[in-house]
């Protein structure tokens, strides 16, 4: 796992001292994503930077990596992520006459592009199974390819310039170059205040994400986007027992592939179905005893208050799974004081780069990762299982399913909007922005075919599943990547294996709920691995701290912000409306988004142009 960055300028020779310094600054911002090594490559219009977290082939995988032809670099690659099928691809490429100097997956990606990507880069990328974001420079064609994995597990941003492009794993790499402006306009504020992934809107004006499943091609003639993967209708015909068996087969193969590492490996364990199944499979297939890690909060289990999203505490289930499958388990217990530590909150914002906070969920994940890093370099995590198998309550509430918007949009945005100046609310037209995003997403949904296509519920649930996979999941993947890579920990997400996603997305909703519950297919596919208490446990979300001290600290900080008329966010807020929000206890946690926006504008020296 690594951090990448670079600069293409077709009107300039980037070997100049000034340009080298700019690249050095950009590369330095990625140091925590790659604490083990650093490298740059510059020639004419191309400058590439790389920071490495060594996981596979610790000695041979240094980057930027070149593929030499006639004694000169033909292709130059900076790569972040993992290609899980690199061993099979390597064997195929060797049979075709390719010779390798290392045992790294990076070199396999280079040769894959030379063998299969000469005419169409989508063909080469389509051969890869993994999580990745990389940049490939073709010295003869004077062409840059920016490539991102199918689900968007690994981030990749780019910033078009007058004569080329800047790119980086995170916005901070791009912002380190003097050509990039730190400006948030109305669209950026709309993205900040809406809980929807929008790859065309990265908050910073002019900056974009490479969309999941896409390639961005940069030449002297301009910038072109290409799609190499998208969700499609599979015309699923397998019955339920066959589908369950196939899900198990795919999970076993995926977990075995993702256990490959030359460094210590563990799992994140919550005691829920998703993480418990991964932990049990990892323990079954690993040659060494698996480490497992869980987050807890001081006094959480003893003072637990059940609710719709957290019906049961995680602790008892975590310990039962750890004992059942025999992991080397560690609980990481956090306090309200740690979560509100200004240094921790600053670190999470720096890791995020964007004001898209999830409050104490970000802080607790950051601290959890920090503790795990003392034991492991790689962990498996259960992201995407809920979106893929239908785990959230929203999937099973007809009122949410049938709403003419994203099923998860309720008062989450509306509550924060109420703190804004009335004139700003009208100007931003946030309901209109969300509706535009919703219509755009629906236009992408593959048409349902086969017998299920005549069922209105099946058609709607196809839409709902697509919305969660493409507009909800990316925010969770981004959060997990940023918090983990900020501390040099690689998180792998087996439920994002594209073969599993393609197969399960294509199954009818009736299959996914065949036993009358959430995540029916996953439960049936893994029930034999787990204690019955975990198999029967009702979905419980990632835990948030239940501590009045945390709420008191939030209230104190937000009150101070409202009293500071020189605050960066002051022009955006209605003090009276904000105080009313502050007095509504149930909504208190939502104000963290305003606090984070304030920190973002000041810490990143961002100019608002609304």
In eight-state DSSP terms, residue 468 is I
Query: Rounded CA gap, 66 and 76, in Å?
Result: 4
Angle between the N-to-C axes of helices 592-603 and 548-563, in degrees from 0 to 180, rounded to the nearest 10: 50
Backbone angle region of 551, left / alpha / beta, with phi > 0 → left and psi within -120 to 50 → alpha: alpha
| Secondary structure string (H, E, C) spanning 173-207 | HHHCCCCCCCEEEHHHHHHHCCCCCCCCCCCECCC
To 10 degrees, the CA torsion angle through 394, 497, 525, 264?
A: -110
- DSSP for 193-247 reads TS-S--TT--SBTT-EEPPTTEEEEEETTEEEEEE------------HHHHHHHH
Pick from 79, 38, 155: which is nearest to 482 by CA? 155
Distance CA 536, CA 74 (A): 56
In contact, 599 and 349? CB cutoff 8 Å:
yes
- In the residue annotation, 2 being an active-site residue is answered as yes
Q: Which two tokens stand for residue 50?
A: 């790389």
Where residue 397 falls (left for φ over 0; alpha for ψ -120 to 50; beta otherwise) is beta
- Residue of 2, 5, 465, 496 marked active site: 2
Q: What are phi and psi of 606, to 5 degrees?
A: -90, 135
Cα separation, 606 vs 568, whole angstroms: 9
Cis link prior to 64 (omega < 30° from 0)? yes
Find the helix packing angle between 430-444 and 456-467, rounded to 10°.
Answer: 110
Nearest to 51 by CA among 68, 65, 67, 39: 39
Burial 450-480 (b: 16+ CB within 10 A, else e): eebeeeeebeebbbbbbbbbbbbbbbbbbbb
Give, in order, the Cα–Cα distances in Å from 100 to each of 87, 114, 261.
12, 13, 19
H or E element, residue 542: none
CA distance 233 to 231: 7
Pair 594, 569: CB distance under 8 Å:
yes
For residues 40 and 24, the answer to whether their CB atoms sit within 8 Å is yes
**Paired sense of beta strands 143-148 and 130-138, if any:** antiparallel
Phi, psi of 80 (to 5 degrees): -130, 135
Tokens at 35, concatenated: 């604490």
Element (H, E) at 319: helix 315-325
How far is it, in rounded angstroms, from Cα 86 to Cα 92?
A: 10
Which of the residues are catalytic?
2
């Amino acid at each position: 796992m690594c951090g990448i960055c670079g600069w293409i300028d077709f009107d300039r020779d980037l070997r100049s001292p000034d340009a080298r310094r700019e690249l050095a600054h950009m590369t330095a911002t990625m140091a925590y994503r790659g604490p083990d090594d650093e490298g740059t490559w510059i020639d004419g219009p191309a400058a590439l930077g790389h920071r490495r977290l060594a996981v596979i082939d610790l000695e041979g995988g240094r980057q930027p990596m070149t593929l030499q032809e006639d004694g000169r670099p033909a292709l130059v690659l900076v790569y972040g992520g993992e290609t899980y099928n690199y061993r099979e691809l390597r064997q195929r490429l060797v049979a075709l006459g390719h010779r390798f100097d290392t045992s790294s997956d990076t070199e396999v990606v280079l040769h894959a592009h030379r063998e299969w990507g000469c005419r169409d880069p989508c063909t080469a990328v389509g051969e890869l199974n993994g999580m990745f974001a990389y940049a490939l420079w073709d010295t003869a064609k004077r062409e840059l390819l920016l490539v991102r994995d199918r689900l968007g597990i690994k981030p990749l941003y780019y910033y078009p310039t007058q004569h080329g492009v800047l790119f980086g794993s995170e916005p901070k790499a791009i912002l380190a170059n003097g050509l990039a402006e730190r400006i948030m306009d109305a669209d950026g504020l709309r993205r900040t205040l809406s809980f929807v992934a929008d790859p065309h809107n990265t908050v910073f004006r002019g900056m974009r994400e490479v969309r999941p499943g896409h390639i961005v091609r940069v030449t002297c003639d301009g910038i072109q986007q290409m799609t190499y993967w998208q969700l499609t209708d599979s015309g699923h015909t397998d019955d339920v027992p066959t589908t369950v068996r196939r899900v198990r087969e795919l999970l076993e193969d995926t977990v075995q592939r993702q256990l490959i590492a030359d460094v210590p490996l563990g799992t994140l364990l919550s005691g829920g179905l998703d993480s418990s199944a991964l932990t049990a499979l990892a323990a079954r297939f690993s040659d060494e005893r698996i480490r497992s890690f869980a987050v807890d909060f001081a006094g959480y289990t003893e003072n637990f208050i059940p609710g719709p999203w957290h019906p049961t505490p995680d602790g008892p289930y975590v310990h039962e799974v750890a004992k059942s499958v025999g992991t080397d388990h560690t609980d990481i217990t956090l306090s309200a004081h740690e979560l509100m530590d200004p240094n921790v909150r600053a670190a999470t914002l720096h890791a995020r780069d964007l004001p898209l906070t999830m409050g104490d969920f970000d802080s607790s994940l950051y601290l959890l990762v920090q503790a795990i890093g003392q034991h492991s370099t790689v962990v498996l995590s259960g992201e995407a299982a809920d979106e893929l198998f239908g785990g959230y309550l929203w999937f099973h509430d007809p009122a949410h399913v049938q709403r003419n918007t994203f099923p998860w949009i309720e008062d989450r945005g509306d509550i924060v909007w109420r703190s804004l100046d009335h004139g700003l609310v009208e100007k931003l037209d946030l309901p209109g922005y969300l509706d535009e995003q919703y219509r755009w997403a629906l236009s992408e949904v593959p048409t349902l075919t086969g017998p299920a296509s005549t069922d209105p519920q099946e058609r709607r649930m196809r839409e709902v599943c697509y919305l969660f996979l493409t507009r909800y999941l990316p925010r969770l993947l981004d959060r997990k990547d940023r918090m983990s890579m900020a501390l040099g920990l690689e998180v792998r997400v087996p439920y994002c294996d594209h073969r599993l996603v393609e197969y399960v997305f294509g199954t009818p909703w009736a299959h996914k709920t065949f036993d009358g519950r959430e995540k029916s297919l996953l439960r049936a596919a893994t029930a034999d691995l787990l204690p019955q208490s975990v198999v029967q446990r009702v979905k419980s979300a990632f835990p948030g701290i239940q501590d009045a001290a945390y709420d008191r600290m939030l209230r104190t900080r937000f009150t101070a912000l409202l009293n500071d008329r020189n605050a960066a966010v002051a022009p955006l807020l209605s003090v009276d409306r904000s105080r009313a929000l502050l007095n509504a206890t149930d909504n208190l946690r939502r104000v963290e988004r305003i606090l984070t926006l304030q920190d973002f504008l000041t810490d990143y020296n961002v100019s608002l142009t609304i």
